[in-house]
């Protein structure tokens, strides 16, 4: 409360009882100290107000009071809730963690939706040398929002998948502009479709495969055409279904009937 006053106090080892008896703590302070300033005076006022409100119950043992419950008694429920003080609510549970997808794809999605994957714009902010252009279209600065939603290469992938799955919601022609990847993702994952759980798994799958394609171009200098990437996404979707993505299977069934 008053670190500057404490630094010029002549008695730093008094007990609380000794200090407030006849306001002995005031006489301990070297008011003539050469460093005494307005800051010391403000702390003196705060400490005086606090001390004047303090009432010691002499002879009564100290007790521990838990501030997070009405009866001042500790319980584990209040301690658990205290861990979330200052936290913010997100929809990540709904659009990333609950849909079926391999853990590595979910973790990637969690990073991507917060713009924490190593796209060119983030590398530049760190001062790291990199090609600023999108590795897929080579026409625009690479950002997560551009690469997954605005890049011509990726939009063609989405369009072909829309026709294959008979899901108009993932056709880029149906999208509205967004300023952040999280906003776009939220809007697409909440689209009015019958199979929302399958759609959310499909979004994770497509973005994961687009990211892998981007990395193959950057680090291995290998690239695939749009039809080949779409075919790879189809194959991977079949694998996910075999592993347990039952909601994604409804999209495959629609594709088989087309």
* pLDDT single digits (tens) 193-204: 989 999 999 999
Number of domains forming the structure of the chain = 2
Given a cut of 80, is residue 93 above it in pLDDT?
yes
pLDDT, tens digit, 9 for 90 and up, residues 136-174: 999 999 999 999 999 999 999 999 999 999 899 999 999
Given a cut of 90, is residue 176 above it in pLDDT?
yes
- Give the span between the Cα atoms of 122 and 137, in whole angstroms: 18
The domain in which residue 220 lies consists of: 92-257
Q: With respect to residue 150, please indicate whether it lies within any of the assigned structural domains.
A: yes
- For residue 51, what pLDDT band results from cuts at 50, 70 and 90? confident
Q: With respect to residue 87, please indicate whether it lies within any of the assigned structural domains.
A: no
Cα Rg, the chain, nearest whole Å: 31
Contact 206, 161 (CB under 8 A): yes
* Better pLDDT: 59 or 189: 189
Res 57: pLDDT: 67
Q: Give 168's DSSP letter.
A: G
Same domain membership, residue 78 and residue 96: no
Q: With respect to residue 237, please indicate whether it lies within any of the assigned structural domains.
A: yes
Same domain membership, residue 240 and residue 142: yes
Same domain membership, residue 158 and residue 249: yes
Same domain membership, residue 156 and residue 29: no
Same domain membership, residue 182 and residue 163: yes
Same domain membership, residue 140 and residue 51: no
Res 91: pLDDT: 95
Same domain membership, residue 99 and residue 27: no
pLDDT, tens digit, 9 for 90 and up, residues 220-245: 999 999 999 999 999 999 999 999 99
- Give the span between the Cα atoms of 46 and 40, in whole angstroms: 10
Q: With respect to residue 215, please indicate whether it lies within any of the assigned structural domains.
A: yes
- Give the span between the Cα atoms of 81 and 83, in whole angstroms: 5
Contact 248, 100 (CB under 8 A): yes
Contact 23, 51 (CB under 8 A): yes
Res 111: pLDDT: 98
Largest CA distance in the chain: 91
């Amino acid at each position: 409360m008053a670190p500057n006053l404490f630094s010029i106090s002549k008695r730093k080892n008094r007990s609380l009882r000794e200090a407030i008896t006849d306001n002995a703590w005031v006489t301990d302070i070297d008011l003539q100290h050469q460093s005494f300033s307005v800051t010391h005076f403000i702390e003196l006022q705060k400490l005086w107000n606090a001390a004047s409100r303090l009432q010691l119950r002499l002879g009564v043992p100290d007790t521990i009071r838990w501030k997070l419950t009405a009866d001042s008694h500790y319980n584990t429920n209040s301690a658990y809730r205290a861990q979330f003080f200052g936290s913010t609510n997100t929809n990540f549970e709904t659009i990333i963690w609950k849909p079926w997808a391999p853990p590595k794809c979910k973790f990637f999605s969690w990073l991507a939706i917060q713009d924490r994957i190593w796209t060119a714009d983030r590398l530049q902010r760190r001062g790291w040398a990199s090609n600023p252009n999108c590795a897929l279209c080579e026409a625009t600065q690479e950002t997560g929002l551009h690469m997954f939603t605005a890049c011509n290469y990726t939009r063609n992938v989405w369009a072909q998948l829309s026709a294959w799955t008979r899901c108009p919601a993932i056709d880029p022609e149906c999208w509205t502009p967004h300023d952040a990847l999280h906003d776009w993702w939220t809007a697409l994952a909440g689209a009015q479709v019958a199979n929302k759980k399958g759609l959310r798994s499909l979004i994770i799958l497509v973005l994961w495969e687009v990211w892998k394609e981007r990395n193959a171009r950057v680090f291995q200098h290998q690239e695939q055409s749009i039809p080949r990437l779409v075919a790879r996404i189809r194959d991977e979707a079949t694998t996910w279904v075999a592993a347990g993505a039952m909601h994604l299977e409804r999209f495959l069934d629609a594709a088989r009937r087309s």
